[in-house]
Structure 1
Amino acid sequence: MRDKVVHGYFGIDLEIVWDTATRDLPQIKPLIDDALDEIDGKKT
């Protein structure tokens, strides 16, 4: 999705972008936080 948004491709469905940002990303945030903690050495 980032590639299409950053490079300005036509036909971006703003509803899909909004749904991803508001519904999908919050669900995976704990996984992202855990991965970042492991990278930073905060978790084993």
Structure 2
Amino acid sequence: MLKFFIGHRGTRIDYDENTLDAFEIALKSGANYIEFDVRKTI
């Protein structure tokens, strides 16, 4: 069975969700992938 860990929006414990800092901590914590939302702003 293949197992993997996805960091949803990074980690919100230490940093705001969907920020580069949150993604970096999620990856350093062992996440194999990160998932985030993309929105177009004006």
TM-score normalised by L of structure 1: 0.29
**More helix, by proportion:** 1
Q: Which has the higher contact order (CA 8 A, sep 6+)?
A: 2
